[in-house]
Structure 1
Amino acid sequence: MNSNTEKNESGEFSEFQVNLNLLRDIDFFSGLPLDALKVFAYLCTQEVFMPGQYLFHQNDDDGSAYYVISGTTTLCYAEETGEAEVRDYREETFFGSLSILTNMHRLFSLKAKTEVRCMVISRQKFQKAIGQFPGLMPRIIKTIANRITRWEKQFILDHAGNWPDCRDHIGISLI
């Protein structure tokens, strides 16, 4: 039996195997070699957040990335008048790729709307693993650049009829 099909005594896949399979499907990690993915899978943990519990808070530098395995989260933005709910995210959403690369404060808060199970990796663990595979950084940077470009292309398509309102807000791919 290979590591891709190993199950525990109760017939379920181990947390390591679940993490490995999830990492293969996350754009940020999917192009990385199997040896590196195995290290990341080992370093990831799974955490459960109850409704109303925050995964991270606006202005915090929690240094973690989250992949929503199950449940629904709500992205929130604190304003002077209170907290505004921006939008919901469901399963198969990955947050925090920039947070595991460098120190950065969150622009939003993310809270569990329902019970949420996430796969989590900290900046410290991510950077420790990258130290074992220094050749990965160019691939990761390319993945992030491609993601930014795809996002901006989609933004342009979504707002094509509203150029006067949004033209001052495009150009992120120029950074």
Structure 2
Amino acid sequence: MSTQASEYQEHLELIREIPYFSALSLEAQKVLAYLCVREHFPEGEAVFSTGDIDSSAYYIISGNLEILTDNQEKPIGKFGPGDFIGALSLIGDSKRLFTVKATEDTLCIRLTKDKFNKVREQFPEITNKFMLVAVEAVNNWEKRFIKNLVPECSGCLSTLGLTLI
């Protein structure tokens, strides 16, 4: 089996695991898998930086990434194998609020907004399924935020209500 065919098969298996794409038809998943590209990030390299308009989503195959803000020295979070980041950039343009940097050699598959839109044209049902998962992700995020809320953080309370949008 050629390397290209092997990578395509691995992409298809990974696409089928990503909640945003797992409920799609096999045909739609195959097209997405074909359109994804592998991207390697050496240790210390930024996947994207604060202020970038990066219209790509990334699935981490191996390695680890850290989340940084401009006003924090320490990372505020991390991503690792199996994490899918940047999904909302596939459906809208906005500046990245964080810098995401590799803490070790990291291999991802990348899907761009342009390629995702081509698949949406061919399989219009993708939009509704994608949005349902996005709403669920936002709701789950806010639940975790409320659960982990530090009572002394009065400013944090004013940021609640994301699910009210």
Q: Structure 1-normalised TM-score?
A: 0.86
- For residues 12-51 of structure 1, what are the structure 2 equivalents within 5 Å? 14-51=6-43
- Structure showing greater radius of gyration is 1
> In 1, are the aligned partners of 2:138 and 2:163 still within 8 Å (CA)?
yes
Matched residue type, 1:100: L
Asked whether 1:122 is paired with 2:99, we answer no
- For residues 127-138 of structure 1, what are the structure 2 equivalents within 5 Å? 127-138=117-128
Q: Tell me the matched-pair count.
A: 164
Q: 1: distance between equivalents of 2:128 and 2:78?
A: 32
Matched residue type, 2:162: I
What residue number does 1:91 align with? 81
- For residues 157-172 of structure 1, what are the structure 2 equivalents within 5 Å? 157-159=147-149, 162=151, 165=154, 166-172=156-162
> In 2, are the aligned partners of 1:78 and 1:84 still within 8 Å (CA)?
no
- Could you tell me which runs of 5 or more consecutive residues in structure 1 were left unpaired when the two chains were aligned: 1-7
Cα distance change of structure 1 residues 83 and 156 upon mapping to structure 2, 3 Å threshold: closer
- Could you tell me which runs of 5 or more consecutive residues in structure 2 were left unpaired when the two chains were aligned: none
**Identity between Structure 1 and Structure 2 (%):** 35
What residue number does 1:173 align with? 163
Cα distance change of structure 1 residues 51 and 35 upon mapping to structure 2, 3 Å threshold: same
Q: Structure 2-normalised TM-score?
A: 0.90
